[in-house]
Amino acid sequence: MSYKNVNELKKSGSNLRGLLNDLKRRPEDAAQELNFPFDELKKYLDGEKVISSEFISLACKKWPVNERDFFVVKDDTEYGYKKMSAQISKES
């Protein structure tokens, strides 16, 4: 798995953790409330696995969230930043 894919999984897990925090749910409670395996939810949170559509569907039915809330905007840089010369910056 490439650095970029691993990084995006980690961001996805952090995003999900933030979403649960906003909903005032501990991961254990969220798994129980959704009748979803905690060990799988933990893999999502740790950035080890892509969040399944099944989990997203369950969460959207139970909580005031939208499918979009589970996706992170794709990073268009290789290492999290983009180097621009003064000339390119001026042209933009």
DSSP-H helix ranges across 1-92: 3-22, 27-34, 38-45, 53-62, 86-91
Cα separations in angstroms, 84 against 16, 36, 49, 74: 32, 45, 33, 20
Query: In terms of pTM, does the model score above 0.85?
Result: no
CA torsion angle 23 27 33 36 (round to 10)? 130
Cα–Cα distance between 54 and 57 in angstroms, integer? 5
Q: What is the pLDDT of residues 26-63, one digit of tens each?
A: 999 999 999 999 999 999 999 999 999 999 999 999 99
Q: What is the pLDDT of residues 62-83, one digit of tens each?
A: 999 999 999 987 767 777 777 8
Tokens (6 digits) for 69: 């809330």
Q: Which of 73, 52, 56 is nearest to 65 (CA)?
A: 56
